């Protein structure tokens, strides 16, 4: 029990390795470095958003609007590009727009004390609806985007596309945020024991707000990456992606009750789903299985997490202590 | 102890007076106002057949909303209801391709709903896992199974008599669905407000620990509520499949949001403990009228969803903002 | 009469570091503190003594910025100040080691020590190496053999307490509050804690030490302050006072409470508990209870009384032991079964476990009796009101109407509703856990009267109480628990305040009191 948590990442890494070995047995082509790199690149958005979702869940909240946020900022990025706005400005713009949408969620949770699930269920549909309003329901296709806009995620550097490098950089950034900053540690404190957090002078609501803003900014950045990489923007991009994101967190050992989770776990959870998704067609299973598999994985993972998180009662007898 | 006991009156405010000042009364006024506004805005509104058509905007969702209201009052939630519709509809399609007739199809639809509800209920009530995540998981799982069975195909060609549930009329413009809706509204109203089971639901929602300390079997009540929610999703699946005449795995996508919105709009506290079935009934009409009215004005569906999202947040936020202002004043 | 006073006598009479005067604090329905005073001196340990509910926790919360006093002055080194937040109190040099460890299970030991004021390195990031180094030296300073990188979840309760102490020291505090620091520690750890207190004294810190254990108060405290019912009773030097005098100040009543006189009519044995044990909470509880008897359970907080009662009521499962009613073995696996066997429990935590706030009075009362007031599962409101009316009137409930939200009633009236709820099930054994805690004097008397009436009607009553006058005034027999075990069973003339305090605190016989 004591070492179980620390080894949660190791366990998951083991499962992933086993999965790869099993696939390699029949389809060696899947585990070539080039293919694994492409799987990783494919999973990059999921990794970024799983990390973003993790800090929100750490504070006992949940953000179901990340995918809608991504789709809206992606559409805005494509439209700004169409108006000839320089890429650097677009990048700043999407991060700020994403953060602003996160801030709306955060304010409703912090100042009005509305349950996060309700807030983000609502903003999820509102953000999607806004995409329709600004785009008139039309698609923005590859030929309507400038080459520079589409190229950034694909520029190769040391054999990996920029998309992958951005995911790696964000992972490192989150490792620092979560492990080395006062704000990062207060995410754990707020979720782990809100009552005690007050005693140590931490403002619970403001910390949750900060988590939503950071998550929103990450969704905004991912919005640009997504649209540029797939070279298309429309109302329904990344539909239902918020469930994959939550699934990656839960599989990665992030406790939905808050206060428990790690950067490594969230990344591995995302990689697990990414490998699963890419491997299914290779091994000849219909991609239609993917949804059911991630659903089953969420349920198994949440049951597993709950078993770990159960707190022992008060210990009164001396010999039992 | 002195034998001269002080007499405590049963009630100071009559139930009728209380009802007049309730959220439900306010909502009723809103519903009437929207009705009048619609009638003024569009010449096609005040037509019995058009109005009858409009009821399809809410009947299926409202059936689930009744059970969902009880679940939310008890402090839980089920986000998998739309996925249950998809799975139940798919199973009916499977039964149909095996050559079964309408009675079996209906049983399969209801049975699938019950089984899904039992699955959710077992995990949440018996294992004590948080219902939000569990039902996010089963939401993927149930719909995922539909996708496994159907892929990008669709079931069509349901028997002609099966169409009765979603397309039939009982008398004049009164649809079968509307009658089912009304019957379920009465049944759930009685269950929640007139039985000891309903009382236990309120107790659990207000204080689950005290409920357990008072001898209430909390896990059993919650399990039954998930079962009921699954069953209602099954009923909705029968009606929806019958109305559409086909099953795709993407059927009823996003219904969970509209159902939760309907419940919250109806005055049910999202954190549990309070709410009424009449409130949900009126909320169903309000949402149906808004959707129908906007539809007559050619507002696209996705834009209507903005209204629904704003409605969901607004009905919770406004009373809180109001309370904050009053505290400051 | 030789008090065990140790520690250097303060040579001069220094000025207090911290002085509270005229502090009052009320909560809805309860006056927690009324015009109390407290002074803490550098290099001295002041013991704060009082029964449960005397206002000790409230004063700690005021000192640490969690509560704001309604009135009164806080002075630090003679300068008036106030603590609007927990951080303000820490900045002013006041730190507390709380009764319940307020720590974070999923953070490391070092992080728990430094959360909120971690050492920063480059770019304002937490300097982890430095944090670990400082944590190690702090832990070494208190003689705790802990790895600062360990996750707190993996530590035992005693080690967690040491972490809490290290946290308190990491804030360069002039005032250290210790709220029952030894409650969860072993003998050896307690001695280490005493050494630590001596070291803190030597460093010139002012220490407020809250404890129920007289042996340790006399061992380490220099001064005492006694609170009772939220009021200041007395203060002075430990060297000038005896245990007996302190007990007297602690339990004596300003207004003598009058308990109902009754001539107990004991019937046959109704309930027998044999060898009830739990893996971690209590062990080997044995007693029998007669009809018409009131059995008191006395002990300090955390002695395992409530935990045992909740096992008897089917909330938790005992690991061993049997329970018999009317000499027939019964197995109680749930509260529903307990109620069926006629055992009911009025919990201590009224707000969380007793009353269902948000629902009206009559629905609270009829909750366990719905089977009788309803027909085929359908509610009959007239029956419900009749039942609620009958029992609330018997308890002399004060309420506007039976349709009123229970949450709007005072604590005492809420308690009457909870008791009425159980009486309406016509129980045979009623367990009352701290039945008069935090309720006004009038309601207290009503509850006491009613307990006597119930026993007179042949019910068997178990009363858990930490209030000595109540235990002695109401019980026919008293069982004292300490650390999860029965340590004494007292009847008749043996039931004295001193005997209870001694047994509960573990003062060996023969030491003068």
pLDDT for res C10: 46
Q: CB under 8 Å to B228, separation ≥6 — which residues?
A: B67, B70, B71, B117
Length of chain B in terms of residues written: 329
Domain range for B297: 53-316
pLDDT for res C52: 66
Is A247 within 8 Å of chain B by CB?
yes
C377 pLDDT above the threshold of 80: yes
Which of C391, C412, C406, C399 has its CA nearest to residue C454? C391
Q: Is B296 helix (H, G, I), strand (E, B) or coil?
A: helix
Residues of B in contact with C313 (CB under 8 A): 213
Q: Tokens in use for B293?
A: 């009215």
B8, B194, B220: best to mutate for the C interface, most C CBs within 10 A: B8
Q: How many percent of chain B have pLDDT more than 90?
A: 62
pLDDT for res C124: 81
Contact yes or no for C282 and A317 at CB 8 A: yes
Q: CB under 8 Å to A169, separation ≥6 — which residues?
A: none
Question: Can you tell me the distance from the alpha carbon of B232 to that of B307, in angstroms, rounded to the nearest whole number?
Answer: 25
Name the closest residue on chain A to residue B317, using Cα atoms. A112
Band of pLDDT at residue A268, cut at 50, 70 and 90: very high
Question: Can you tell me the distance from the alpha carbon of B16 to that of B25, in angstroms, rounded to the nearest whole number?
Answer: 11
Question: Can you tell me the distance from the alpha carbon of B228 to that of B234, in angstroms, rounded to the nearest whole number?
Answer: 10
Rounded to an integer, the average pLDDT of B180-203 is: 96
Chain CA centroid to CA A73, Å: 16
Contact yes or no for B1 and C396 at CB 8 A: yes
Band of pLDDT at residue A314, cut at 50, 70 and 90: low
Minimal Cβ distance to A132: which of B130, B141, B302 = B302
Rounded to an integer, the average pLDDT of C497-511 is: 75
In angstroms, the Cα distances linking C333 to B128, B129, C92, C288 are 18, 22, 52, 20
pLDDT for res C440: 66
pLDDT for res B329: 62
Domain C255-342+427-505: homologous superfamily in CATH: P-loop containing nucleotide triphosphate hydrolases (3.40.50.300)
Q: Do the domain assignments include residue B324?
A: no
Contact yes or no for A137 and B260 at CB 8 A: no
Domain of B193, CATH number, reads: 1.10.3470
In angstroms, the Cα distances linking A285 to A278, A279, B49, B137, C292 are 11, 9, 48, 21, 73
Q: CB pairs below 8 Å between A and B: how many?
A: 139
pLDDT for res C134: 92
Band of pLDDT at residue A3, cut at 50, 70 and 90: very low
In angstroms, the Cα distances linking C437 to B269, C241, C257, C307 are 32, 29, 15, 17
Contact yes or no for B147 and A292 at CB 8 A: yes
Name the closest residue on chain B to residue C335, using Cα atoms. B215
Question: Which residue, chain included where needed, has tokens 């026919």?
Answer: C476
B121, B313, B327: best to mutate for the A interface, most A CBs within 10 A: B313
Name the closest residue on chain A to residue C308, using Cα atoms. A316
Q: How many percent of chain C have pLDDT more than 70?
A: 91
pLDDT for res A1: 36
Q: How distant is the Cα of C393 from the closest Cα of chain B, in angstroms?
A: 6
Question: Can you tell me the distance from the alpha carbon of B62 to that of B182, in angstroms, rounded to the nearest whole number?
Answer: 10
Q: Do the domain assignments include residue B137?
A: yes
Can C14-93+173-253 and C255-342+427-505 be said to share one CATH topology?
yes
Helix (H) or strand (E) holding C353: none
CB atoms inside a 10 Å sphere around CB B164: 14
Contact yes or no for A291 and B308 at CB 8 A: no
Q: CA Rg, chain A, in Å?
A: 20
Domain C14-93+173-253: homologous superfamily in CATH: P-loop containing nucleotide triphosphate hydrolases (3.40.50.300)
The model's pLDDT over C207-261, given as tens digits with 9 standing for 90+, comes to 999 887 777 888 899 999 999 888 899 999 999 988 778 877 877 654 446 788 7
Concatenated DSSP letters of A94-152: HHHHHHHHHHHHHHHHHHS---HHHHHHHHHHHHHHHHHHHHTT--B-GGGS-HHHHHG
Cross-strand pairs, A170 = none
Highest mean predicted confidence (pLDDT) among A231-235, B185-189, C20-24, C325-329: B185-189
Q: CB under 8 Å to B214, separation ≥6 — which residues?
A: B203, C335, C356, C367, C368, C421
Which of A122, A68, A116, A57 has its CA nearest to residue A298? A57
Is B154 within 8 Å of chain A by CB?
no
What is the signed CA dihedral for A159, A160, A161, A163, rounded to 10 degrees? -170
Rounded to an integer, the average pLDDT of A190-205 is: 86
Q: How distant is the Cα of C48 from the closest Cα of chain B, in angstroms?
A: 34
Minimal Cβ distance to A256: which of B130, B260, B305 = B130
The model's pLDDT over B147-177, given as tens digits with 9 standing for 90+, comes to 999 998 999 999 999 999 989 899 888 999 9
Which of A48, A54, A40, A90 has its CA nearest to residue A222? A48
pLDDT for res A316: 66
Q: Do the domain assignments include residue B27?
A: no
Name the closest residue on chain B to residue C309, using Cα atoms. B213
> Which residue ranges form the domains of chain A, and what is each CATH number?
33-307 (1.10.3470)
Rounded to an integer, the average pLDDT of C388-392 is: 91
Q: How distant is the Cα of C82 from the closest Cα of chain B, in angstroms?
A: 24
Q: Do the domain assignments include residue B105?
A: yes
Cross-strand pairs, C126 = C120
Rounded to an integer, the average pLDDT of A45-60 is: 97
Burial category of A25 from C-beta neighbours within 10 Å (exposed 0-12, middle 13-18, buried 19 and up): exposed
pLDDT for res C6: 41
Three-state secondary structure string covering C370-393: HHHHCECCECCHHHHHHHHHHHHH
Q: Is C288 helix (H, G, I), strand (E, B) or coil?
A: strand
Task: Please give the ipTM for the structure prediction.
Answer: 0.86
C167 pLDDT above the threshold of 90: no
Length of chain A in terms of residues written: 321
Is B264 within 8 Å of chain C by CB?
no
Which of A211, A214, A177, A222 has its CA nearest to residue A99? A214
The model's pLDDT over B91-139, given as tens digits with 9 standing for 90+, comes to 999 999 999 999 999 999 999 999 999 999 999 998 888 898 899 899 9
Band of pLDDT at residue C508, cut at 50, 70 and 90: low
Cross-strand pairs, C489 = C479
Minimal Cβ distance to C370: which of B1, B8, B196 = B196
Q: What is the mean pLDDT of chain B?
A: 91
A52 pLDDT above the threshold of 50: yes
Residues of B in contact with A286 (CB under 8 A): 148, 151
Q: Do the domain assignments include residue B32?
A: no
E strands along chain B, which residues? 155-156, 169-171, 174-175, 246-247
pLDDT for res A309: 57
CB C209 within 8 A of CB C13: no
The model's pLDDT over A289-302, given as tens digits with 9 standing for 90+, comes to 888 988 998 898 88
pLDDT for res C253: 52
C53 pLDDT above the threshold of 80: no
CB C194 within 8 A of CB C45: no
Burial category of B105 from C-beta neighbours within 10 Å (exposed 0-12, middle 13-18, buried 19 and up): buried
pLDDT for res B2: 40
Concatenated DSSP letters of B38-65: HHHH-TTSS-HHHHHHHGGGTHHHHHHH
Helix (H) or strand (E) holding C498: helix C497-505
Q: CB pairs below 8 Å between A and C: how many?
A: 105
Q: Tokens in use for C436?
A: 């008069």
pLDDT for res C402: 92
B221 pLDDT above the threshold of 80: yes
Q: Is B32 helix (H, G, I), strand (E, B) or coil?
A: helix
Q: What one-character DSSP code corresponds to residue C126?
A: B
Q: Give, rounded to a whole angstrom, the gap between the first and last alpha carbons of chain B.
A: 46
Question: Can you tell me the distance from the alpha carbon of A49 to that of A71, in angstroms, rounded to the nearest whole number?
Answer: 13
CB C391 within 8 A of CB B240: no
Residues of A in contact with B133 (CB under 8 A): 246, 250, 256, 298, 302
C370, C386, C408: best to mutate for the B interface, most B CBs within 10 A: C370
The model's pLDDT over B290-305, given as tens digits with 9 standing for 90+, comes to 888 888 888 887 888 8
CB B208 within 8 A of CB B222: no
Domain ranges of chain C: 14-93+173-253, 105-171, 255-342+427-505, 360-426
A63, A292, A309: best to mutate for the B interface, most B CBs within 10 A: A292
């Amino acid at each position: 029990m004591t070492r179980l948590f620390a080894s949660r990442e190791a366990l998951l890494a083991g499962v992933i390795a086993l999965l790869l070995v099993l696939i390699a047995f029949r389809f060696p082509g899947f585990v070539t470095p080039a293919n694994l790199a492409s799987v990783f690149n494919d999973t990059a958005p999921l990794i970024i958003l799983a990390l973003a979702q993790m800090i929100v869940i750490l504070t006992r909240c949940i953000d179901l609007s990340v995918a809608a946020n991504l789709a809206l900022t992606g559409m805005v990025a494509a439209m700004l590009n169409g108006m000839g706005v320089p890429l650097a400005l677009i990048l700043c713009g999407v991060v700020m727009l994403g953060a602003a949408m996160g801030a709306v969620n955060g304010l409703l949770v912090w100042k009005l004390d509305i349950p996060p699930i309700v807030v983000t269920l609502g903003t999820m549909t509102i953000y999607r609806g806004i995409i329709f309003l600004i785009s008139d329901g039309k698609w923005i296709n590859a030929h309507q985007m400038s080459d520079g806009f589409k190229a950034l995620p694909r520029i190769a550097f040391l054999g990996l596309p920029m998309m992958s490098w951005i995911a790696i950089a964000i992972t490192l950034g989150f490792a620092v945020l979560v492990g080395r900053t006062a704000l990062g540690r207060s995410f754990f404190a707020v979720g782990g024991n809100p009552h005690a957090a007050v005693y140590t002078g931490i403002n619970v609501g403001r910390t949750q707000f900060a988590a939503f803003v950071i998550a929103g900014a990450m969704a905004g950045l991912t919005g640009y990456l997504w649209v540029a990489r797939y070279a298309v923007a429309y109302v329904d991009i990344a539909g239902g992606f918020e469930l994959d994101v939550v699934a990656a967190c839960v599989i990665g050992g992030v406790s939905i009750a808050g206060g428990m989770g790690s950067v490594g776990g969230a990344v591995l959870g995302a990689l697990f789903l990414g490998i699963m998704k890419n491997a299914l067609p290779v091994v000849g299973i219909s991609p239609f299985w993917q949804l059911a598999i991630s659903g089953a994985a969420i349920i198994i993972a949440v049951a597993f997490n709950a078993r770990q998180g159960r707190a022992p009662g008060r210990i009164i007898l001396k010999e039992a202590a | 102890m002195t034998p001269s006991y002080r007499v405590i009156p049963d009630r100071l405010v009559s139930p009728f007076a209380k009802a007049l000042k309730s959220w439900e009364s306010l909502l009723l006024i809103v519903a009437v106002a929207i009705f009048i506004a619609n009638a003024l805005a569009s010449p096609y509104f005040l037509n019995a057949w058009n109005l009858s058509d409009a009821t399809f905007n809410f009947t299926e969702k409202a059936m689930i909303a009744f059970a969902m209201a009880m679940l939310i009052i008890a402090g839980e939630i089920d986000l998998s209801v739309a996925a249950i519709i998809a799975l139940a509809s798919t199973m009916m399609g499977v039964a149909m391709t095996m050559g079964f007739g309408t009675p079996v199809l209906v049983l399969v639809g209801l049975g699938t709903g019950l089984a899904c509800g039992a699955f959710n209920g077992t995990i949440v009530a018996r294992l004590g896992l948080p219902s939000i995540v569990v039902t996010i998981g089963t939401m993927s799982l149930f719909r995922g199974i539909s996708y496994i069975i159907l892929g990008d195909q669709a079931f069509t060609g349901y028997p002609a008599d099966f169409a009765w549930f979603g397309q039939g009329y009982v008398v004049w413009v009164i649809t079968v669905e509307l009658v089912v809706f009304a019957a379920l509204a009465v049944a759930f109203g009685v269950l929640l407000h007139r039985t000891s089971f309903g009382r236990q639901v309120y107790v659990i929602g207000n204080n689950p620990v005290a409920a357990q300390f008072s001898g209430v079997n909390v896990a059993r009540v919650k399990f039954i509520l998930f079962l009921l929610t699954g069953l209602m999703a099954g009923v909705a699946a029968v009606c929806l499949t019958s109305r559409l005449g086909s099953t795709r795995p993407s059927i009823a996508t996003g219904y969970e949001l509209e159902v939760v919105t309907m419940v919250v709009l109806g005055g049910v506290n999202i954190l549990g403990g309070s709410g009424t079935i009449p409130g949900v009934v009126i909320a169903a009409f309000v949402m149906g009228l808004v959707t129908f009215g906007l539809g007559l004005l050619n507002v696209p569906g996705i834009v209507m969803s903005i209204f629904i999202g704003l409605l969901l947040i607004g009905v919770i936020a406004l009373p809180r903002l109001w309370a904050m202002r009053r505290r400051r004043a | 009469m030789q008090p065990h006073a140790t520690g250097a006598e303060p040579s001069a009479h220094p000025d207090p570091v911290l002085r509270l005067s005229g502090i009052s604090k009320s909560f809805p329905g309860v006056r927690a503190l009324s015009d109390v005073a407290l002074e803490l001196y550098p290099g001295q340990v002041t013991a704060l003594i009082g029964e449960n509910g005397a206002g000790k926790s409230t004063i700690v919360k005021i000192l640490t910025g969690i509560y704001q006093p309604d009135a009164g002055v806080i002075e630090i080194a003679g300068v008036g100040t106030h603590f609007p937040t927990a951080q303000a109190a820490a900045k002013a040099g006041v730190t507390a080691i709380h009764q319940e460890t307020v720590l974070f299970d999923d953070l490391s030991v070092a992080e728990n020590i430094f959360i909120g004021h971690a050492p920063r390195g480059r770019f304002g990031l937490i300097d982890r190496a430095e944090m670990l180094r400082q944590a190690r030296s702090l832990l070494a300073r208190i003689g705790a053999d802990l790895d600062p990188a360990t996750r707190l979840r993996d530590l035992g309760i005693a080690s967690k307490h040491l972490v809490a102490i290290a946290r308190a020291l990491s804030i360069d505090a002039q005032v250290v509050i210790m709220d029952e620091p030894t409650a969860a520690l072993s003998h050896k750890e307690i001695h280490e804690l005493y050494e630590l207190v001596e070291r803190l004294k030597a460093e010139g810190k002012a220490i407020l030490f809250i404890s129920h254990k007289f042996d340790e108060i006399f061992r380490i405290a220099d001064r005492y302050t006694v609170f009772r019912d939220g009021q200041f009773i007395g203060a002075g030097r430990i060297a000038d006072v005896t245990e007996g005098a302190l007990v007297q100040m602690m339990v004596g009543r300003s207004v003598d409470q009058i308990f109902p006189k009754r001539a107990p009519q004991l019937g046959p044995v109704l309930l027998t508990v044999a060898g009830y044990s739990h893996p971690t909470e209590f062990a080997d509880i044995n007693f029998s209870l007669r009809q018409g008897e009131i059995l008191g359970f006395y002990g300090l907080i955390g002695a395992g009384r409530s935990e045992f009662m909740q096992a008897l009521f089917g909330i938790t499962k005992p690991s061993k032991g049997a329970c018999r009613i009317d000499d027939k073995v019964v197995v109680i696996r749930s509260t529903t079964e307990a109620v069926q066997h006629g055992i009911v429990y009025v919990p201590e935590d009224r707000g969380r476990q007793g009353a269902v706030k948000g629902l009206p009075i009559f629905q609270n009362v009829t909750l366990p009796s719905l089977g009788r007031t309803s027909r085929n599962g359908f509610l009959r409101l007239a029956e419900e009101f009749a039942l609620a009316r009958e029992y609330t009137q018997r308890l002399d409930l004060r309420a506007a109407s039976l349709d009123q939200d229970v949450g709007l009633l005072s604590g005492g009236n809420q308690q009457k509703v909870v008791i009425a709820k159980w009486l309406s099930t016509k129980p045979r054994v009623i367990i009352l856990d701290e039945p008069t805690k935090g309720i006004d004097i009038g309601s207290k008397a009503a509850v006491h009267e009613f307990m006597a009436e119930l026993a007179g009607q042949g019910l068997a009553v178990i009363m858990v109480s930490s209030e000595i006058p109540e235990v002695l005034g109401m019980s026919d027999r008293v069982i004292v628990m300490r650390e999860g075990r029965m340590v004494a069973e007292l009847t008749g003339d043996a039931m004295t305040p001193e005997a209870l305090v001694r047994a509960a605190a573990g003062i060996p016989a023969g030491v003068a009191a």
